[in-house]
Amino acid sequence: MALAAAPTATRRRKFSAAGRPWIPYLFVAPFVVLFLVFLAAPIGVAIGNSLLSQQSSGLGFGGRELTFVGIDNYIRAFQDSDFVVSFGRVLLYGVVQVPVMMIIAGLLALLFDSALVKAKKFFQFAVFLPYAVPGVIAALLWGFLYQPSVSPIIQAFTSLGIDVNLLAPGTVLWSIANIAVWSNTGINMIILFAALQTVPREMYEAARLDGAGEARIAWSIKIPMIAPAILLTTLSSVIGTLQLFNEPQVLKTITSNISSDFTPNMAIYAASTLGKDSQYSSAMAVILGVVTLIISVVILRITNRRSMGATDGI
Amino acid sequence: MKATRLTSRTARRVAAGALAGATAIALLAGCSASSGGATDSTAAGATTTVDFWGWVPGLEDLVAQYNEANPGVEVSFHRMTGDDGQKVEAAVDAGAGPDLVQLSTHDLPDYVISDRVQPITEYVGDIQDNNTESAWTSVTFGDDVYGVPQGIGPAGMMYRTDLFDKFGIAVPATWDEYLAAARAIHAADPNAYIANLSPSEIGQWMQEVQQAEGSWYGVDGDSWTVGVNDDASKLVAARWQTLLDEGLVTTEQMWTPEYWALVNSGKVATISYAAWFPSLLAENAADTSGLWRIAPLPTNAGSTNSGDSGGAAVVVLKGAADPAAAAKFAAWLNDSDETQDALITVGGLFPSTKNGLASEALMQPQPFYGDQVINEVFADAAENTPSTWVEGPNYGTAQTAVTDEFAKVVTGEQTFEQALDKAQAATIADLKSRGLSVAE
């Protein structure tokens, strides 16, 4: 790689010597502009907004003005026990949903990569297909399957004498997790499967000569080789968990056991649209962003250390 | 090891490629959107345009009728669906809002305080006399009028004649009789219930609180008072707590397939709701046609009060280009003689206008209700609704707090009274965080 990089560098230097040093900037400009306009600026606005508050006085009919209140909105968010609980709820959800989904996606990817499966393309497509269904539609579909009077699944259970309520306070979180697993296993499987294709086939041959079976090859070669892809998919799944919104918001219309602040994102939505307090909800959004960042960094740190340890072992 | 590094680099390169592609698409979309806008705007002529958002059925025809009769004004109508109501505020703040919008009167104080509506007192003075006093009060703040009332929600009790006949139980006229009937029905058939209690359906709660002369808000000098857990609410709370504790009601969420299945199954004997509900019941429970009648909402001891779950108003938003034209259309739409029949029969509104209440269209027999003239019941209810309810500034927060807490009541985690106390505290805390003064 180092050898390949050298000539490029020389060529680039020639370009700048020709008096056009702005060319590279021109190429990155679209990205930088969109990044600034649609990511950096909104974050800046949200942070700025979160330090303000709309204040009126008396009955409020004398108009209102934006005042600087420092970190008051943040203090209020941390004191809001429902908002704090919503983080605990999605973390509990994530601790279960992400591993379950990753294990299923990983097993399927290994299965498709092995020689065991016939009609591989068809099954891969079948597993991937739910991902193509928009999240809201998926929640609506499953919503019908969760309601006793219209759900063939629950009716089947009932006819067997088993009473199930998939929308009860204790089960509704897992009913949401089920939708997320159904929707997202496919894309993770595809990413892991694609990563498996890049593993040099000679390594399997070498392992077989050393007497390793298929299971041993999967465990000792395939999984370590696709560790970066596993990390990538896990990380995006964890972020998706923290941003949980579509599924519970849709299911909320069929069960009152999902409160308006069931997940952090729902609490933010409720504060901004129902509570009409965009400053407070900005503070909540910044907190969610920071928590997501911290969790991502922690996961990256842990896994980096682990994969380095593994490398030392080899 | 090397292979690993290669993979991650490849992944990064792929990601960068995808992003570049997305950028190109976004740029293209941006171009086409702006060029499209430019061609559209050239079409506008010398006429005044009024953008109007509303949800009442049949408004399209009335708007067309107005446009034909008034060549100088072009009203364009947008039917509100889904969460359009929640988009209005952002649209107004961005300067891209409509000129006229239909609002729940519960939300109006928030709009007034946040300066998103315009006073239209000078344009609508002449229609005041055509509106009932309570409806006009609901759009008046201080000395200014902020909207034209459009329908109210007086309450009635829809009941299944077949169930009451079968069990030989008299239709309850008071809440005490209601509780007795609830026990008798459930005793006669363990699968039958007097009602369904939907914790998310705030209107059903509100009509009974209003009947008991309670109010979520009040004004004390220059301060708001909050009454989410006032005595009237606690009276209603005690009633439903008993019904819930004794297992005399179901607790399905309203408007779901589950709810309509329950209603259609004949397990629910009564539904108490506003004047706009009967047509929805007829639509969603067509097979039960002829089995339903409507009686007045049961009364509290020593009172003949009925209740109301709230009405709507058409308001002129901040930033409306021609507030006079907008207000003039709103007044015509809701108060002229020629629109009353359409609003009642097609729109399904229960009028708060005097010419609407006198309209023949209002007092028609309804085949679904065994040819009963159901609006006689609602007209009486409108007359017997106490004018104690006061609209307040953070209705959205209060409503969310109440419904979230009620959900925990039907699962048995807490009582109605505890739920009301929590919602009261949340509502007060929110008012204070806005700098409003609250008298406790």
pLDDT for position B93: 85
Domain spanning B48-152+310-358: which CATH class is it, in words?
alpha beta
* Contact map slice: B 256-275 vs A, CB within 8 A: 256-258, 261-262
Is the CB of A149 less than 8 angstroms away from the CB of B261?
yes
Q: How far is residue A183 from each of residues A168, B123, B228, B298, measured CA to CA in Å?
A: 22, 55, 41, 49
Rounded average pLDDT over B111-117 = 89
B4 touching A (Cβ < 8 Å): yes
Domains observed in chain A: 23-52+65-70 (no CATH), 79-133+184-313 (1.10.3720.10)
Is the CB of A59 less than 8 angstroms away from the CB of B219?
yes
pLDDT for position A59: 87
Cβ atoms of residues A176 and A244 within 8 Å: yes
- Write the residue in B222, B256, B396 that is nearest to A59 by C-beta: B222
Cβ atoms of residues A257 and A170 within 8 Å: no
Provide the shortest C-alpha distance from residue B207 to chain A (in Å). Answer: 20
B34 touching A (Cβ < 8 Å): no
Whether complex ipTM tops 0.90? no
pLDDT for position A184: 94
pLDDT for position B27: 38
- Write the residue in A61, A148, A225 that is nearest to B112 by C-beta: A61
- Mean pLDDT across chain B: 87
Is the CB of A63 less than 8 angstroms away from the CB of B437?
no
* Domains of chain B by residue range: 48-152+310-358, 155-309+365-433
Q: What is the 3-state secondary structure (H, E, C) of chain B?
A: CHHHHHHHHHHHHHHHHHHHHHHHHHHHHHHHHHHHHHHHHCCCCCCEEEEEEECCCCHHHHHHHHHHHCCCEEEEEEECCCCHHHHHHHHHHCCCCCCEEEEECCCHHHHHHCCCECCCHHHHHHHHHHECHHHHHHCEECCEECCEECCECEEEEEEEHHHHHHHCCCCCCEHHHHHHHHHHHHHHCCCCECEECCCCCHHHHHHHHHHCCCCCEEEECCEEEECCCCHHHHHHHHHHHHHHHCCCEECCCCCCHHHHHHHHCCCECEEEEECCHHHHHHHHCHHHCCCEEEEECCECCCCCCCCECCCEEEEEECCCCCHHHHHHHHHHHHHCHHHHHHHHHCCCCECCEHHHHCCHHHHCCEHHHCCECHHHHHHHHHHCCCCCCCCCCCHHHHHHHHHHHHHHHHCCCCCHHHHHHHHHHHHHHHHHHCCCCECC
pLDDT for position B86: 80
Query: Do B48-152+310-358 and B155-309+365-433 have matching folds?
Result: yes
Is the CB of B400 less than 8 angstroms away from the CB of A169?
no
Q: How many CB pairs under 8 A join A and B?
A: 135
pLDDT for position B327: 95
pLDDT for position B174: 97
pLDDT for position A308: 52
Considering only CB atoms, which chain A residues are within 8 Å of B3? 198-200, 225
Of the pLDDT bands very low, low, confident and very high (cuts 50, 70, 90), residue B46 is low
Question: Which residue of chain B has the CA closest to A35?
Answer: B23
Return d(Cα B297, Cα B156) in angstroms, integer.
5
pLDDT for position A13: 52
Of the pLDDT bands very low, low, confident and very high (cuts 50, 70, 90), residue B213 is very high
B296 touching A (Cβ < 8 Å): no
pLDDT for position B134: 83
- Write the residue in A61, A200, A277 that is nearest to B3 by C-beta: A200
Rounded average pLDDT over B193-221 = 95
- Write the residue in A31, A150, A276 that is nearest to B396 by C-beta: A276
Provide the shortest C-alpha distance from residue B20 to chain A (in Å). Answer: 7
What is the tens place of the pLDDT at every residue in B329-354? 999 999 999 899 999 988 888 999 99
pLDDT for position A18: 62
Closest alpha carbon to B9 in A198, A305, A3, A300: A198
Considering only CB atoms, which chain B residues are within 8 Å of A226? 7
pLDDT for position A306: 63
What is the tens place of the pLDDT at every residue in B272-323? 999 999 988 998 999 999 999 999 999 999 999 999 999 999 999 998 989 9
pLDDT for position B41: 36
Q: Which residue has the higher pLDDT, B87 or B18?
A: B87
pLDDT for position A108: 93
Question: Which residue of chain B has the CA closest to A230?
Answer: B8
Q: How far is residue B367 from each of residues B290, B348, B362, B372, measured CA to CA in Å?
A: 7, 15, 14, 7
pLDDT for position A274: 83
Cβ atoms of residues B328 and B171 within 8 Å: no
B406 touching A (Cβ < 8 Å): yes
Considering only CB atoms, which chain A residues are within 8 Å of B393? 59-60
- Write the residue in A227, A253, A254 that is nearest to B4 by C-beta: A227
Topology (CATH level 3) of domain B155-309+365-433: D-Maltodextrin-Binding Protein; domain 2 (3.40.190)
pLDDT for position B371: 95
pLDDT for position A307: 58
Listed as ranges, residues in chain A with pLDDT below 50 are 1-10, 16-17, 309-314
